[in-house]
Amino acid sequence: MALLEIEDLHASVDGHEILKGVNLTMNAGEVHSIMGPNGSGKSTLAQVLARRETYEVTRGKVLFDGKDLLEMKPEDAACQGVFMAFQYPVEIPGIGNAYFLRSAMNAVRKYHGQDELDAMDFLPLYKERLKLLEMDEKLMNRSVNEGFSGGEKKRNEILQLAMLEPKLAILDETDSGLDIDALRIVAQGVNAMRSPERGFLVITHYQRLLDYITTDFVHVLVDGKIARSGGPELALELEEKGYGWAETEAGISA
Amino acid sequence: MVKATERLGNYLTAYGEVLAQGEKREPVWLRQLREDAWSRFDAKGFPTTHDEDWRFTNIAALARMPFRRAPQGNAGLTAKDLERFRFAGAACQMVFVNGRFAPTLSELGNLPKGLEVCPLARALDCGAGGWAPEGCAPEGIEQHLGRYADVRRDVFAALNTALWEDGAYLRFRRGAIIEQPVHLLYVSAGAGSEIMTHPRNLVVAEEASQVAVVEDYVSIGDEAAFSNAVTELAAGQNAVVSHYLIERENFAATNVSTLRVEQARGTNIASHSILLGGGLVRNNVHPVLAGEGAECLINGLFVGAGRQHLDNYMMVEHAQPQGGSRQFYNGILTDSARGVFHGRIIVHKDAQKTDAKQTNRNLLLSDNARIDTKPQLEIHADDVKCTHGATIGQIEEEQLFYLRARGLDEKSARNLLLYAFAAECLDRMKEPAAREFAENLIRARLADLSRGAVAATAIEAAEENVQSWEEVG
């Protein structure tokens, strides 16, 4: 059984159709990259999979681990093992990072009927993961993403990924706005989390993230549809020829 | 012109009783204070919504209620009844039942050095009787009592000055550093309906003392009481004082409380107000930065549900140069609750280099909740920095989604965000014991909100999915 099966997915926001029939199948252990020009629907796809309610699915189906993902609320999807690293991580003043993360982990554990983690169970793992992402322990006591630099916010997303250990990790343009050092650290975090049980959907505008994260498949999303799919070499081709080429290939561009 | 008391005969009766009770015992200066204050109230009566300071709070119904003085005694309360209101880590606790000091319910053992505690009536020998405090030195009272509260402008302060029977007199000696807060607990209980009390407190923090006082209003039972308290806080040079007001009375209660702070040079004052209970609440905070380089922090949280009406009237007066004031008030309102934040900053001619800041943020969780927020700057000096801002909004959908996308169910996520919004005010509280006390009360109140009517109304708000934060003023 595939980890994720997307079939003829159509989605709109405010009555404006953005996804116009996306098909994609991925297995556990694989890394799929979705590339495409701005406005092609990459982030919409991520948000729909994370079950954001502002996006309306008008047609199609999505199975996650054999279950109907589109029936799930965001928290159900998260507890079942879907994780989206936000393109724009949200600041939440007044809630400490460590407290937030432990609450999230405990929500997932509770969902599966497991005992909650206390601070003693939580801290050693947290500290280890902070080190993996080269993050300062002082961040623990600060409010979620508040006053964080762009790079710190993105690393914090990967930190959450590393703590929550989802089955499906969606990275929504995690590389955008990162300098090369931060990019390397983020990639290192992602690579450390790769496993035969886990799938990655890496959404990116640029090929350079794929220099650090080895991808199995590349899909090019153009105007709400996957225009081309291929191996890692497709990313290089895109880098060289630009998205105009893919658009022409798909017969969409003027 | 009809005098106020021709319509408000119950107050005249009370005034007569208070005068009779104090006759031959009260010093002349005090009787003069009372008489002046009374004539002020008599001439002016209760304010209406035509009065700019009362535009958003209608007290016509309050004025019509035939409030009377409480009977003497402890209303049958025992120490056990008060157990749930005490807080660990207080230096001492003075309990007032229906406005009068209750020695047997108070805990005044082992006072720290430099702290003098005494019921005000006793300190002035008004004949509260039966309890002789040790080491209480009332000689300084005359120079402070009634010197700060403005009976000309504020009718409630006038009424209090005319009718007060008891309250706390706290004196912190020069240089005293009292780490544990003094807890003043005002209980309204078991005296039947329509009881009024006018607690009067005087806090004298002498030069370079560092202290905290918690004023805490509670009710036992569901009777509609009216409490009209005035606290005058005189802070000597370089004194550091934190004042906490906690309003957690029943929803039938009316509470008007006025904190008037006189700040000498180099003082650092914090006023923290936590309004959780009460049906009609008016919270007046009025510091005057009367010495150079004085600083004040005015910090508050009000949480209203049902038909609660919570009115916060801040008036910060900068009278001397190099002063700083920061105001932060957060409001959470649901159901048909209504909140008011009136933030007035007055910078007098001599108060150059004043730095005054004011922020009021509000969360409205239902369609019928309402907030009126009004900044008012009056600046008579030319080299000052004054900023103000107010926001009104709902819980942000983005934040809610972020938490849900990490596995928290909608209700938990919403509660966490509400708590985080409320907790901003906790971060500004320096005294750990008082902060923890406030934190527990806030948590409990928010838990009540989410269990009660708030659940339904909050979901409505989410469905609307409105994220606009409106900039006001």
Domain boundaries defined on chain A:
4-249
Is residue B42 classed as helix, strand or coil in its secondary structure?
helix
pLDDT value, residue A202: 96
Closest chain A CA to residue B402: A90
Residues in chain A with CB shorter than 8 Å from the CB of B412 are 103, 107
- If pLDDT is split at 50, 70 and 90, which confidence band does B469 have? very low
Q: Are the beta carbons of B205 and B234 closer than 8 angstroms?
A: yes
Residues in chain B with CB shorter than 8 Å from the CB of A50 are 405
Q: Using the structure block, give the residue that is written with the tokens 């239902």.
A: B366
Looking at chain B, the whole-number percentage of residues with pLDDT higher than 90 is 78
Separation in Å, CA A117 to CA A107, B307, B416: 10, 40, 18
Cβ of B420 within 8 Å of Cβ of A89? The answer is no
Q: Are the beta carbons of B197 and B235 closer than 8 angstroms?
A: no
Cβ of B406 within 8 Å of Cβ of A92? The answer is no
Q: Which residues contact B401 (CB under 8 A, 6 or more apart)?
A: A52, A53, A74, A90
| Concatenated DSSP letters of B313-378 | EEEEEE-STT-EEEEEEEEEE-TT-EEEEEEEEEE-TT-TT-EEEEEEEEEE-STT-EEEEEEEEE
Q: What would the pLDDT profile of B138-168 be if each residue is shown by its tens digit? A: 678 999 999 999 999 999 999 999 999 999 9
More confidently predicted of B200 and A247: B200
Backbone angles phi, psi at B9, to 5 degrees: -60, -30
Whether the predicted pLDDT of B93 surpasses 80 = yes
For A178, the token pair is 């990162």
Q: Are the beta carbons of B219 and B189 closer than 8 angstroms?
A: yes
Mean pLDDT of the B37-41 span: 96
More confidently predicted of A226 and B23: A226
C-alpha Rg value of chain A to the nearest Å: 18
Using CA atoms, how far apart are residues B163 and B153, in angstroms rounded to an integer?
A: 17
Looking at A111-120, A190-199, B245-254, B449-458, which range is the least confident one?
B449-458
* B463 in contact with A, Cβ within 8 Å: no
pLDDT value, residue A139: 80
Cβ of B405 within 8 Å of Cβ of A92? The answer is no
Closest chain A CA to residue B421: A94
Task: Quote the mean pLDDT of chain B.
Answer: 90
Each residue's pLDDT, cut to its tens digit, for chain A (254 residues) gives 899 999 999 999 999 999 999 999 999 999 999 999 989 999 999 999 999 999 999 999 999 999 999 999 999 999 999 999 999 999 998 898 999 999 999 999 999 999 999 888 899 999 999 998 888 888 878 899 998 989 899 999 999 999 999 999 999 999 888 888 889 988 998 999 999 999 999 999 888 888 999 999 999 999 999 999 999 999 888 888 888 777 776 665 43
Whether the predicted pLDDT of B248 surpasses 70 = yes
pLDDT value, residue B454: 40
pLDDT value, residue B51: 93
Using CA atoms, how far apart are residues A36 and A243, in angstroms rounded to an integer?
A: 7
Residues in chain B with CB shorter than 8 Å from the CB of A107 are 406-409, 412
- If pLDDT is split at 50, 70 and 90, which confidence band does B137 have? low
Interface test with A, best of B301, B361, B402 (most A CBs within 10 A): B402
Mean pLDDT of the B96-109 span: 93
Pairing of strands B115-119, B168-172: antiparallel
pLDDT value, residue B2: 55
Nearest C-alpha neighbor of A199 from the set A31, A25, A2: A31
| pTM assigned to the model | 0.85
pLDDT value, residue B472: 33
pLDDT value, residue B311: 98
Q: What would the pLDDT profile of B327-342 be if each residue is shown by its tens digit? A: 999 999 999 999 999 9
Interface test with B, best of A43, A80, A90, A102 (most B CBs within 10 A): A90
Mean pLDDT of the B199-223 span: 96
pLDDT value, residue B457: 37
Eight-class DSSP state of B466: -
Looking at A23-32, B1-10, B271-280, B297-306, which range is the least confident one?
B1-10
More confidently predicted of A57 and B89: A57
Nearest residue, CB atoms, B416 vs list A52, A103, A111 = A103
Question: SS3 string of chain A?
Answer: CCCEEEEEEEEEECCEEEEEEEEEEECCCCEEEEECCCCCCHHHHHHHHCCCCCCEEEEEEEEECCEEHHHCCHHHHHHHCEEEECCCCCCEEEEEHHHHHHHHHHHHHHHCCCCCCCHHHHHHHHHHHHHHCCCCHHHHHCEECCCCCHHHHHHHHHHHHHHHCCCEEEEECCCCCCCHHHHHHHHHHHHHHCCCCCEEEEEECCCHHHHCCCCCEEEEEECCEEEEEECCHHHHHHHHHCHHHHHHHCCCCC
Cβ of B405 within 8 Å of Cβ of A50? The answer is yes
More confidently predicted of B455 and A124: A124
Nearest residue, CB atoms, A92 vs list B399, B412, B465 = B399
pLDDT value, residue A240: 85
Count the Cβ atoms, other than its own, within 10 Å of residue B440: 11
- If pLDDT is split at 50, 70 and 90, which confidence band does B4 have? low
Q: Strand B182-189: give its sheet, edge to edge.
A: B100-101, B92-97, B182-189, B210-220, B240-248, B268-275, B295-304, B324-333, B355-364, B385-393, B470-472
pLDDT value, residue A254: 37
Q: Are the beta carbons of B202 and B170 closer than 8 angstroms?
A: yes
For A131, the token pair is 């080190």
Cβ of B405 within 8 Å of Cβ of A78? The answer is yes
Pairing of strands A168-172, A199-204: parallel
Mean pLDDT of the B245-271 span: 97
Residues in chain B with CB shorter than 8 Å from the CB of A164 are 406-407
Is residue B473 classed as helix, strand or coil in its secondary structure?
coil
Q: What would the pLDDT profile of A115-165 be if each residue is shown by its tens digit? A: 999 888 899 999 999 998 888 888 878 899 998 989 899 999 999 999 999
Looking at domain A4-249, which CATH architecture does it have?
A: 3-Layer(aba) Sandwich (3.40)
Whether the predicted pLDDT of B50 surpasses 60 = yes
